[in-house]
Structure 1
Amino acid sequence: MLKKLSVKNFKSWAELSVEFRPITVLFGANSSGKSSIIQFLLLLKQTKDSTNSQAVLEFGDSSTPVELGSYKDSIFRHEDARNLKWHLEWSLDKPLSFTDTTQKRRKAYNFREIGIKVELLSRGRKILTNELTYTTNMASFSLNRREGKPGYQLTSSNEELFRFVRSMGRPWDLPEPTKCFSLPDQAQTYFQNAQFLGLFENAYVNQMDSILHLGPLREDPKRQYPWSGSTPADVGRRGERTVEAILSATEFGLRRNLKYKSPTKSFQEMIAWWLQKLGLIYSFRVDEVGKESGLFRVYVKKGPQSVETLITDVGFGVSQILPMLTLLYYVPAGSTILIEQPEIHLHPHVQAGIADLVIATAINRKLQLIIESHSEHFLNRLLRRIAERETEFGNITQNDIALFFCENEGGQSNLSPLQVNLFGGVENWPKDFFGDQMGDIIAREKAASIWRMRNRNAQSS
């Protein structure tokens, strides 16, 4: 699970620091910088996924989750003389353990939380890694570019605890890393006790693999879907693989429960339960058009007395929420999911219900959800559930949720955490958090007063 992200000089963020919780929600006006936080995490993920081993950072193209252009396009104020820096920290499901075999008494090390700290700089079209450090609570292990000299040095921040020992006959400096997270292979041959660094890199790769993304826009529903037995990793950025995921989950007999130790439901039963709970439809099923045809249709009923129809013939709300609902119950427990504006095209009642879905899956499936939203209804339901504490969707407290408000002043983004108390109250509401509601109310009453006065004057004359 991601714990904390600190970034300097990315897009509109001169400096950013955000602490993540099981549920993290980013609010703010358009172009306030909240999307850039999600984009940065996707930048790291697509760099890990890139087949270009020479790309220190993979800024992307039309086929990747984000397309950021170049270093200059992505750097704060487009000033490529600035260095891009970040520090990402996360917790591990299982402790990372290794032993230093160069010690007379072999010493074992165990870490539950680690991090990666990187500093990049631009030299024309070439991006150089100035620093690549893996951090722990006891020591940090750094690959640093030598100032004014070619090559890199490998060091420990606490040599009393751990010291790198050179291999005999290998006094050379290390080459530059290929990707921003990947130490050169020579580190493990030039030093007798550097093999453990591969464990840190593997932990980073696993964390990136656990990050999944659902964008704000959806692919239009279809009258039928082909499926040949594939098992997608997720539902796609636009939800285009949602039906594939449902069919795969059905094929493998996946079952889910609403709360810990509550009775389980089949995957399609869970989807149908939520769609009914949200007030969108009465029933839901996916069936093959004909035996072994490989073509499937999604059928829904609006009400108990309604005629069953195809998903294409009902409102867009079902198609908007279905990919998110499927994703949250389809992915492995412990995944980190980035979701942008889940409330688009949805009635306020459904927007509020999304909060219950988020709580149920974050608490009971141990998912980490990082959500960008503009929805007041979604926020109010989250705050209500904090006040209630014990709900049918799981027990929630203010410590499980982090809420942030992004704003941009003079082209620079700022992030303010909302202070939520034990009773679900926000103690530091930002000005115009959801627009100037009070200003609208006053203006409306003033306009009504003027028209009433005009009507009275017209009647008296």
Structure 2
Amino acid sequence: MDLRALTLLAGANSSGKSSVMQPLLLLKQTLHEDRYDPGPLKLDGPNVVFTDAGQFISQVAVGQRPRFEVSLGVGKDRGRLLYEPSAAGVTLSETGVSVGQAPEIIMRDGSVVSARETAVLLELPGLEAEGKNSIASRHGIAHEIPLVPWVSIAVVDGVLLKGSVEFPAVGWKTHLSNDLMRLIHLGGHRGNPSRRYPRSVSSSDLRPGVFHEQAAGVIAHWKQHDPASLDALQSAMRTVGLGWSIEPVDLDATAIDLRIGRTRETSRAARDLVSIADVGFGVSQSLPVLVALIDAKPGQLVYIEQPEIHLHPRAQVGVADLIVEASRRGARVVIETHSEIILTRIQYHVAKGTLPPKDVLVHWFACDPKTGDTTVTAVEPDAAGAFGDWPVDFAEVGERVDREYIEAAWKRQSGEAG
């Protein structure tokens, strides 16, 4: 699936929108696990929760082997992971890596599967002499070659981590693992409002877990070190209608409370600050969305599920503008949405010229009611922001509801008049 500067996932409920991002989230929570070896994939994490591989692997016909493959590309470097279910969850049965224009190197169970691919491996620049000698001393098929840290994709495989020969980093490790660990993820439910939030936050761009648990810490960090971002947040809150200001207040050495200013009157500002737990539920759900979009750095992937939840239509317009602004700054924003307002507002920015059509891609998901198979249609807008002949039914539903209301109102008035 192609990801642009701004990618939208739209379609009916249970059509596969969230499922398409789950492989990335599985890899993310696996890479972030530093308490123990999670094996090939950490199934039960903060981003996605499974207890068995059968819960996310497609059902296949009798006689076929159930498996799934995750393929990722960063620049000219590409990697793929082939997983199969096992009693322990999943097994990484095959890894394929290609660097630049070099042929793909295929590994099974920690071994390169052909001498030709071993030769390609030996030709990689920067490989230490000890590593070359270790590999060259064993010819033929099924050489046991430790592939970490050279192939960072193998970081998710606990078996491949057990090796002695260290290969040089050639860019793949840095790009892929960092991109996944920097991924900002906001689910559809962003916790319950609280009077006590942890103040700690990573000083780097790494964002482990779900972002709503870190948003308060990011705001506190901005107050001390990045007032421009805090000002941008307060401006966004006013635009969206979440409040006039926000103030992180120290409770003790480990926790803060978030106080929301409800009025613009300076004379009342100090006494008008109330805890986020005492304002509408929508504030605690929507505030992390604003923080994530402002926090996102160039090249950083931001995945937000249903940013429109709990928002008034006018506020949805403001959030759509922030989404566009984040993508224009260089962040890669992926939005799962049911909001016609957000889609239309993005079309507006394309037509206005503030968002190039090539930077936008909408993936429309449709589920066959008979087979359960999902069809994904990718559409890029034209220069006027139009998507052409595509399967989105938002407008059709809106028109039908309006028409039914007008007809019902006309009949009622006609009956009363008669």
8 A contact 2:29–2:209 mirrored in 1: no
1:285 corresponds to 2:247: yes
Question: Is structure 2 residue 364 aligned with structure 1 residue 405?
Answer: yes
Deviations, residues 382-423 of structure 1 (Å, cap 9, x unaligned): 11011111xxxxx42111111111111121111111231101
Partner of 1:212: 184
Q: Does 2:138 match 1:170?
A: yes
What is the RMSD computed on CA atoms of the aligned residues? 3.6
User: Do the aligned partners of 1:235 and 1:326 also contact (CA within 8 Å) in 2?
Assistant: no
Give the whole-Å Cα distance in 1 for the aligned partners of 2:92 and 2:115.
Answer: 15
- Counterpart in the other structure of 1:132: 95
Q: How far apart, CA to CA, are the structure 2 residues paired with 1:199 and 1:387?
A: 38
| Structure 2: distance between partners of 1:197 and 1:408 | 42
Q: Which residue number in structure 1 is paired with residue 3 of structure 2?
A: 20
Amino acid aligned to 2:2: E
Q: What corresponds to 2:113 in structure 1? A: 153
1:421 paired residue among 379, 382, 388: 382
Matched to 1:153, the amino acid is V
Mapped to 1, the partners of 2:186 and 2:305 lie a distance apart of 7
Tell me, yes or no, if the aligned pair for 1:404 and 1:418 is still in contact at 8 Å: yes
Any idea what SS the aligned residue of 2:210 has?
A: coil
Moved more, 317-326 or 280-289: 280-289
C-alpha change, 1:421 and 1:445, in structure 2 (3 Å) is same
Q: Map of 1:42-441 to 2, 5 A cutoff?
A: 42-51=25-34, 52-53=36-37, 55-60=39-44, 63-77=45-59, 81-91=65-75, 113-122=76-85, 127-145=90-108, 152-153=112-113, 167-171=135-139, 173-175=142-144, 181-182=154-155, 184=160, 189=165, 195-196=167-168, 199-223=171-195, 225=197, 227=199, 234=207, 237=210, 239-251=212-224, 253-255=225-227, 266-288=228-250, 295-304=256-265, 308-310=272-274, 311-364=276-329, 366-389=330-353, 395-409=354-368, 410-430=371-391, 432-433=393-394, 436-441=397-402
Structure 1 stretch displaced more, 155-164 or 318-327 = 155-164
Paired residue total: 392
Q: Provide structure 1 residue ranges, at least 5 long, that are not aligned to the other structure.
A: 1-17, 92-112, 256-265, 390-394
Among the aligned pairs, what percent are the same residue?
Answer: 23
Q: Give the match's secondary structure for 1:436.
A: helix
| 1:352–1:380 CA contact under 8 A, matched in 2 | no
Structure (1 or 2) with the greater helix fraction: 2
1:96 corresponding residue in structure 2 = none
Distance 1:39 1:74 in 2: 9
Structure 1 CA distance, aligned partners of 2:392 and 2:233? Answer: 38
Matches of 1:434 and 1:47 in 2, distance apart?
Answer: 40
SS of the residue aligned with 1:30? coil
Q: Could you say what secondary structure the match of 2:18 adopts?
A: helix
Instruction: Output the CA distance in 2 between the equivalents of 1:218 and 1:274.
Output: 19
CA–CA distance in structure 1, aligned partners of residues 254 and 80 of structure 2:
52
CA distance in 1 between partners of 2:307 and 2:193 (Å): 17
In 2, Cα distance between the equivalents of 1:404 and 1:349? 25
Query: Which whole-Å deviations, capped at 9, do the CAs of 1:118-151 have from their partners, x for residues lacking one?
Result: 22334665744443111244123323439xxx96
Partner amino acid for 2:239? Answer: K
Residues 185-231 of structure 1, C-alpha deviation per residue, up to 9 Å, x if partnerless? 68885xxxx93467533432222212121112123333455647885
Distance between the aligned counterparts of 2:73 and 2:180, measured in 1?
A: 12
Greater CA drift, 367-376 or 160-169: 160-169
Q: What corresponds to 1:106 in structure 2?
A: none
1:269-312 deviation per Cα after TM superposition (whole angstroms, max 9, x unaligned): 2211111122332333334469x896544131234386623133
Give the superposition deviation at 1:452. 4.1
Evaluate the alpha carbon distance shift between residue 236 and residue 151 of structure 1 in structure 2; reply closer, same or farther with a 3 A threshold: closer
Q: Please, what TM-score do these two structures have when normalized by structure 2?
A: 0.80
Q: Is the Cα–Cα contact under 8 Å of residues 46 and 58 in structure 1 kept in the other structure?
A: yes
State the alpha-carbon separation in 1 of the partners of residues 37 and 255 from structure 2.
Answer: 38
Q: Which amino acid aligns with 2:81?
A: V
1:329 Cα deviation from its structure 2 partner = 2.6
Q: Which moved more, 1:307-316 or 1:195-204?
A: 195-204
**How far apart, in 1, do the equivalents of 2:377 and 2:40 lie?**
31
C-alpha change, 1:138 and 1:280, in structure 2 (3 Å) is same
Give the aligned residue type for 1:423: A
Counterparts of 2:5 and 2:115, CA distance in 1: 34
Distance, in Å, in 2 between the alignment partners of 1:155 and 1:304 is 75
CA distance in 2, matches of 1:235, 1:56: 18
1:126 and 1:340, CA in 2 relative to 1: closer, same or farther beyond 3 A?
closer
Structure 2, unmatched stretches of 5+, are 125-131
Q: 267-276 or 171-180, which moves further after superposition?
A: 171-180
Do the aligned partners of residues 340 and 346 (structure 1) sit closer, same or farther apart at CA in structure 2, a change above 3 Å counting? Answer: same
Partner of 2:128: none
1:41 has 2:2 as partner: no
Give how far 1:54 is off: 6.5
